[in-house]
């Protein structure tokens, strides 16, 4: 910053490198100064000349001897101000004046220039409003007012908008409760908000009461009396009853604050009994002009109060508040600290790990005196509680506020407030290592009923952080430091037992979702499911058994939302383990059901060869119920058609499936749906396909418990058939209705299919731009849930659409990818699809030339899936 300022103040001067090094590091020897200048210059050039559009601009002209800004590279307000001052233009000078030069910097040359600029201000006799410092108002005035509020030695960074919001909330209510977990900066924000109210004239005095360490009503009242009288009040009588203590404090407040518009900040109320808060209504009743702000980690049982909750600092973005705070606090211990391309990734990793908690960011930044950001990030990425103990401060100020001396102390203070039931539930939550909802926690075998009071206590104490809402309840998790420090004293076998209990709880909870299976609830449960499947502490057989148990429990959900690849890989390993290492007493029905599920999911994920292999291993005789055997044969038929394009073999298996369960509605609907698909794709007979789909819908109508997803899927197929039949216009209203329903229930799998079909219909109607927009939306939905088949359909359709809009190279690359990927993962192309590919390739070659067209096609074929998606969405 100082190097940039030095160059910008005299933009037309070529500064000698030796002089710049002496200005910036006056106490360093010449060699060290030159080395530091080279490093700082490299950082500054990388920052100013970072390309935004692929081109690189030059901001600094540098040679071996001098440095100078490139003409027009930087605009400096000081230059404008001095120019206006020389011309005697008071209005222009006032407009350019930005306040104190380089606030927070006290180098000799900065102080000299600051005095010179102030002399110009005095000579021009500028209005006071033109001379205001550019510091944000939340940093408070330069001289401490007699307001009874704490003074801070560091600037507030990243909390300016929070201060404004808090001040607005305090202005609208007389009793405001600021609630949040330790380390969020509740006290600092409240003090700054109080100063903002003072500056705006909404109050004329403020008093601060530090309740930290108080555990009784007597202690709380004594602190209030001291704050109101600035330390001259006699101590409260220890033997007085509670009501008398509170009334006496309220009477004293009347004497101290009568007739004034005052604000009283009661800080850290979480450890006090509820009786202590009975003081607030007494104060508000006696003093009509009084406002009260209470900060607490624990939700308070109060009537008439309004709650305001601060948020963690945002860590994303090039100039995020969390990043600015880290840099500022790092420079407090190491003045030459810079965020540059060499350490930016490490700093951002640290900020993500610290979850935007201001106290944690300050503690981490203080460590850059000893550790570079890369080492600090590596340390925080380790497992266990020990990593958080590095984040601790030492020094004389620690004794004044030991609760904030370290993250360990912050967590310990909160844990000390818990009841035994809440402490036990906290152990369970820590072992989950993923968000959990109350309904799921109630299924844990180690949970002591009733669970809800302990759950509500953890929420009220700000230990459970909301991670999502599925429309039925909140999913909460523990911040990482809390989780690690809670698990640390537990023995490994105990933690393993608790984690095993979550697998049982998740499977049991999944059983309560049938037959509705609301997708938002499944989405929220996925992190816990994946963490349990990835548990490396289990033996191979135990891990495979858990995988089968959980994946089968969620089998109905996988019809609508394909599992992530890691879950499917785990299921494949579990199925192979049953075949290669059969266990005594192994349930053959479970093994067969797991094989059926893995076959279906591998087929949907584009793992055609794997699906074919698993389909041949299905033990139909082990499936106990006729509908299950029919569904397995139906799956084998789908594999025969989708992977091998074997319509004859597929129909033979369909016939066998029909004999297994001729009267089972769901099975017959699925069977008819596949027959319709064969009529569409193999026989090119849309009319017969439409009849089969309608008959399938008829079967489902007779099944009251049939899932709505299956009915929506059949309606989608009817619309697709209408498009095949040349009736794209009639299909669009049905597709629009299905899209609305899919969005309402969170069925992104169906939504992607519907949007793809909408794109095809619009293309047939000649609305190419609308078709491309719908198909891009389909790709976005499919990519968000990593559903390979739907992703591929969208990429396939975007190729010809790009060609229709004149972008033959993009078309060739997209179709080259889609052709190769389909053949590799789903088998041979159907005849019509093969003709579509040949036609697109021929048209691309005509527009690009034979060699360029083939080159673009080959480039597309070589792309990985993610790159193809990026190409399509670019």
Mean pLDDT of the chain, nearest integer: 85
Are residues 47 and 168 located together in one domain of the fold? no
Is 441 a member of any domain?
no
Q: Is the pLDDT of residue 717 over 60?
A: yes
Residue 533 lies in a domain: no
> Which carries the bigger pLDDT value, residue 57 or residue 672?
672
Whether 137 has a pLDDT exceeding 60, the answer reads no
Assigned domain for 555 exists: no
Helix (H, G, I), strand (E, B) or coil at 10: coil
Write down the pLDDT at residue 153: 79
Give the pLDDT score at 104: 63
The CATH number covering residue 699 comes to 1.25.40.10
Give the H or E element holding residue 465. Answer: strand 465-469
Lowest mean pLDDT among 317-331, 591-605, 624-638: 317-331
Question: CA 125 to CA 526: how far, in whole Å?
Answer: 67
pLDDT of residue 144: 42
What is the rounded average pLDDT of the residues 7-27? 83
Give yes or no: residues 7 and 95 share one domain: no
* Out of 340-349, 770-779, 820-829, least confident range: 820-829
pLDDT at 126: 67
- Of the given ranges (132-136, 156-160, 505-509), which has the lowest mean pLDDT? 132-136
Write the secondary structure of 554-606 as one string of H (helix), E (strand) and C (coil): CHHHHCCCCCCHHHHHHHHHHHHHHHHCCCCCCCHHHHHHHHHHHHHHHHHCC
- Residue 139's pLDDT is 38
Which CATH number goes with the domain that contains 181?
Answer: 3.40.50.300
pTM of the predicted protein model? 0.70
Same domain, 805 and 759: yes
Q: Does the pLDDT of residue 263 top 80, yes or no?
A: yes
Digit-coded pLDDT (tens) for 69-128: 888 888 889 888 888 888 888 888 888 887 778 876 667 777 778 878 877 787 777 644
Q: What is the pLDDT of residues 531-541, one digit of tens each?
A: 999 988 888 88
Alpha carbon distance 810, 601 (integer Å): 31
Q: Please check whether residues 120 and 214 belong to one and the same domain.
A: no
pLDDT above 60: residue 314: yes
**pLDDT per residue as tens digits for the range 185-220:** 899 999 999 999 998 888 888 989 888 888 888 888
Check: CB of residue 101 under 8 Å from CB of residue 67. Answer: no
Please tell me the predicted confidence (pLDDT) of residue 235.
55
Per residue in 447-494, pLDDT tens? 988 999 999 999 988 889 888 888 888 999 999 889 999 999 999 899
Q: Both 172 and 88 in a single domain?
A: no
Q: Residue 820 belongs to what domain range?
A: 675-873
Residue 134 pLDDT: 36
Residue 349 pLDDT > 80: yes
Query: Same domain for 90 and 166?
Result: no
CA dihedral 50, 55, 56, 59 (to 10 degrees): -90
pLDDT of 773 above 90: yes
Residue whose C-alpha is closest to residue 821's, from 783, 864, 779: 864
Average of per-residue pLDDT across 855-871: 92
Q: Within this chain, do residues 846 and 786 fall inside the same structural domain, yes or no?
A: yes
Residue 701 maps to a domain: yes
Q: What is the rounded CA–CA span in Å between residue 548 and residue 494?
A: 23
pLDDT > 60? residue 518: yes
- Distance, in Å, from the CA atom of 276 to the CA atom of 841, rounded to the nearest integer, reads 79
Nearest CA to 279 out of 303, 245, 306, 256 is that of 245
Determine the average pLDDT of the residues in 301-323. Answer: 85
- Residues 63 and 113 occupy one common structural domain: no
- Alpha-carbon distance 386 to 378, whole Å? 13
Domain boundary among 308, 341, 366: 308
Of 308, 341, 372, the last residue of a domain is 308
Phi, psi torsion values for 60, nearest 5 degrees: -125, 130
Q: What crossing angle do the helices spanning 588-604 and 608-617 adopt, rounded to 10°?
A: 160
Contact between 660 and 626 (Cβ < 8 Å): yes
Q: What is the pLDDT of residue 500?
A: 92
Residue 638 clears pLDDT 60, i.e. is over it? yes
- Give yes or no: residues 115 and 226 share one domain: no
Of residues 382, 206, 386, the one with CA closest to residue 292: 206
Span 28-68, pLDDT tens digits = 778 888 888 888 888 888 778 766 555 667 888 888 888 88
> How many domains would you assign to the chain?
5
Residue 771: inside a domain, yes or no?
Answer: yes
In a domain, 417, yes or no: no
Phi, then psi, of 131 in degrees rounded to 5: -105, 10
Judged against a pLDDT cut of 60, whether residue 397 lies above it is answered with: no
Q: Is the pLDDT confidence value at 402 over 80?
A: no
Res 132 pLDDT > 60: no
Point out the domain boundary residue: 118, 134, 150.
134
pLDDT recorded at residue 868: 92
Task: Report residue 620 CA to chain centroid gap.
Answer: 44
Task: Dump pLDDT digits (tens) for 538-570.
Answer: 888 888 999 999 999 998 888 777 888 889 999
pLDDT of 167 above 70: yes
Q: How confident is the model at residue 231 (pLDDT cuts 50, 70, 90)?
A: low
What pLDDT does residue 129 have? 36
**Average pLDDT estimate for 861-866:** 92
Q: CA-to-CA distance for 607 and 609, rounded, in angstroms?
A: 6
Q: Is residue 329 located within the same domain as residue 360?
A: yes
Tell whether 594 is covered by a domain: no
- Segment 424-437, tens digit of pLDDT: 999 999 999 899 99
In a shared domain, residues 336 and 405: yes
pLDDT at residue 160 in the model: 85
* Measured distance CA(266)–CA(252) in Å, rounded: 16
Residue 302 within a domain: yes
Q: What is the pLDDT of residue 751?
A: 92
Same domain? For 125 and 249 the reply is: no
Of 357, 363, 426, 359, the residue nearest 389 (C-alpha) = 363
- Indicate whether 295 pLDDT > 90: yes
Highest mean pLDDT among 105-114, 116-125, 626-635, 779-788: 626-635
* Pairing between β-strand 436-437 and β-strand 175-179 as defined by DSSP bridges: unpaired
Q: Which of 164-173, 252-261, 311-320, 697-706 comes out lowest in average pLDDT?
A: 697-706
């Amino acid at each position: 910053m100082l190097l940039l300022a030095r160059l910008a103040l005299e933009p037309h001067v070529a500064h000698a490198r030796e002089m710049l090094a002496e200005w910036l590091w006056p106490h360093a020897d010449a060699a060290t100064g030159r080395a530091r200048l080279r490093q700082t210059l490299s950082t500054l050039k990388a920052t100013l000349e970072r390309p935004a559009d692929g081109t690189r601009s030059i901001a600094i002209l540098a040679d071996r001897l001098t440095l100078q800004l490139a003409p027009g590279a930087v605009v400096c307000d000081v230059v404008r101000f001095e120019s206006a001052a020389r011309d005697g233009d008071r209005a222009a000078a006032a407009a350019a004046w930005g306040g104190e030069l380089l606030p927070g910097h006290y180098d000799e040359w900065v102080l000299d220039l600051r005095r010179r600029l102030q002399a110009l201000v005095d000579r021009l006799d500028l209005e006071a409003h033109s001379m205001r410092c550019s510091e944000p108002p939340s940093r408070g005035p330069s001289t401490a007012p007699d307001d009874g509020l704490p003074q801070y030695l560091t600037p507030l960074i990243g909390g300016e908008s929070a201060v404004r919001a808090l001040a607005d909330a305090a202005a609208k209510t007389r009793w405001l409760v600021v609630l949040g977990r330790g380390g969020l900066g509740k006290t600092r924000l409240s003090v700054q908000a109080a100063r903002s109210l003072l500056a705006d004239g909404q109050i004329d005095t403020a008093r601060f009461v530090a309740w930290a360490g108080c555990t009784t009503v007597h202690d709380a009242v004594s602190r209030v009396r001291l704050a109101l009288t600035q330390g001259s009040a006699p101590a409260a009588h220890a033997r007085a009853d509670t009501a008398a203590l509170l009334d006496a404090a309220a009477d004293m407040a009347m004497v101290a604050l009568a007739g004034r518009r005052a604000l009283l900040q009661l800080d850290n109320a979480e450890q006090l009994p509820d009786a202590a808060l009975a003081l607030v209504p007494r104060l508000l009743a006696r003093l009509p002009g009084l406002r009260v702000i209470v900060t607490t980690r624990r939700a308070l049982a109060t009537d008439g109060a309004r709650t305001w909750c601060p948020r963690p600092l945002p860590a994303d973005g090039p100039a995020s508040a969390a990043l600015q705070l880290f840099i500022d606090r790092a420079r407090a211990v190491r003045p030459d600290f810079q965020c540059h391309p060499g350490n930016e990734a490490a700093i951002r990793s640290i900020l993500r790990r610290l979850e935007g908690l201001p106290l944690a960011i300050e503690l981490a930044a203080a460590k850059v005196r000893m550790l570079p950001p890369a080492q600090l990030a590596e340390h925080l990425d380790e497992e266990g509680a020990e990593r958080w103990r590095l984040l601790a401060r030492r020094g004389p100020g620690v004794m004044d506020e030991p609760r904030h001396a370290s993250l360990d102390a912050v967590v310990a203070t909160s844990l000390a407030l818990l009841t035994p039931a809440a402490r036990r539930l906290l152990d369970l939550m820590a072992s989950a290592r993923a968000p959990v909802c109350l309904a799921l926690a109630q299924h844990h075998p180690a949970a002591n009923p009733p669970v809800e009071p302990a759950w509500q206590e953890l929420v009220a104490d700000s230990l459970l952080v909301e991670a999502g809402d599925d429309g039925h309840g909140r999913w909460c998790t523990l911040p990482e430091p809390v989780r690690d420090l809670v698990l640390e004293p537990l023995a490994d076998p105990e933690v393993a037992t608790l984690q095993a209990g979550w697998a049982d709880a998740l499977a049991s909870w999944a059983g309560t979702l049938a037959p509705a299976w609301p997708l938002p609830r499944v989405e929220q449960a996925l992190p816990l499911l994946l963490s349990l499947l990835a548990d490396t502490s289990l033996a191979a057989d135990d891990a495979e058994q858990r995988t089968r148990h959980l994946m089968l429990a969620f089998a109905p959900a996988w019809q609508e939302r394909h599992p992530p690849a890691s879950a499917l890989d785990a299921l494949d390993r579990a199925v192979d383990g049953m075949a290669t290492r059969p266990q005594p007493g192994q349930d053959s029905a479970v093994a067969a059901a797991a094989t059926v599920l893995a076959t279906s999911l591998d087929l949907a994920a584009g793992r055609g060869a794997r699906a074919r292999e698993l389909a041949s291993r299905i033990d139909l005789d082990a499936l106990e119920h006729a509908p299950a055997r029919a569904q397995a044969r139906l799956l084998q038929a789908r594999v025969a058609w989708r992977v091998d394009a074997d319509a004859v073999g597929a129909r033979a298996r369909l016939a066998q499936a029909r004999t297994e369960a001729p009267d089972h509605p769901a099975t017959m609907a699925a069977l008819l749906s596949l027959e319709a698909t064969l009529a569409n794709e193999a026989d090119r007979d849309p009319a017969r396909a439409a009849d089969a789909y309608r008959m399938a819908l008829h079967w489902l109508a007779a099944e009251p418990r049939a899932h709505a997803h299956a009915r929506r899927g059949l309606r989608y197929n009817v619309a697709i058939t209408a498009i095949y039949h040349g009736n794209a216009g009639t299909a669009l209203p049905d597709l629009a209705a299905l899209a609305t329903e899919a969005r309402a229930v969170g069925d992104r799998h169906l939504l992607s299919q519907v949007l793809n079909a909408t794109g095809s219909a619009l293309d047939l109607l000649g609305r190419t731009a609308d078709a491309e927009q719908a198909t891009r939306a389909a790709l976005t939905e499919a990519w968000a849930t990593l559903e390979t088949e739907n992703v591929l359909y969208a990429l396939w359709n975007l190729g010809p659409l790009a060609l229709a809009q004149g972008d033959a190279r993009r078309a060739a690359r997209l179709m080259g990818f889609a052709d190769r990927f389909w053949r590799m993962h789903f088998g041979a192309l159907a005849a019509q699809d093969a003709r579509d590919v040949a036609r697109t390739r021929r048209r691309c070659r005509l527009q690009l030339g034979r060699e360029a067209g083939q080159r673009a096609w080959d480039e597309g074929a070589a792309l990985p899936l993610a790159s193809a998606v990026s190409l399509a969405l670019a």
